[in-house]
Homo-oligomer: A and B are copies of this chain.
Amino acid sequence: MSSQKVSVNTLPFSQVDTSGVLLIPGGQGTRRLAEDKAFIEQIETLSKQASYVLTVCTGSALLAKTGLLHGMKATSNKRAFDWACSNGQDVQWLKKARWTNDGKYYTSSGVSAGMDMILGFICDIHGEQTALSLSGQIEYIWNRDKENDPFAISK
């Protein structure tokens, strides 16, 4: 059940297809999960097996907690930035980034930035025309520049 009272159907980790792309969402639930050692270990196992790992919002905090982002570029929700950073002090946390890409890892800022990241990911994997075609189909005004971040923080 989400905090908006919408029920979300889930599968146990054992039934998850471990190939392909892993998307780690964020949200308030990440605060508790970041302290759940068994959960973080499962995220680590899935992340190692996945071809690509994408995070939205504070999902990057969970990924950082696994240690897999060591020395890598990443970003997170700008309103929970200090907390996100505390989960991986050796990560290159970017305060001005709509999204980041480093190796097989993509991380995005606050929730809406996830849309720009997903299209950026599709652009990287399937090419610009595919990304533009998809954004047109859903009438999405794509912010194509991952460094164009109107919600950047300076502190």
Q: Which residues of A contact B (CB under 8 A)?
A: 6-7, 9, 77-79, 109-113, 115, 136-141, 143, 150-151
Contact = CB atoms under 8 A, between A and B. Distances in A.
A50 B6 CA distance: 21
Q: Which 8 A-B pairs have the closest CB atoms?
A: A110-B139, A112-B140, A139-B151, A112-B139, A112-B138, A111-B138, A109-B139, A113-B139
Nearest to A9: B7
Given A7-B9, A9-B7, A77 B139 contact: yes
Contacts of A136: 151
Nearest to A116: B141
Nearest to A115: B112
Contacts of A78: 139
A115 B7 CA distance: 21
A138 B150 CA distance: 12
A137 B109 CA distance: 11
Nearest to A136: B151
A120 to B, nearest CB: 14
Chain B CB within 10 A, most for which of A113, A137, A141, A150: A141
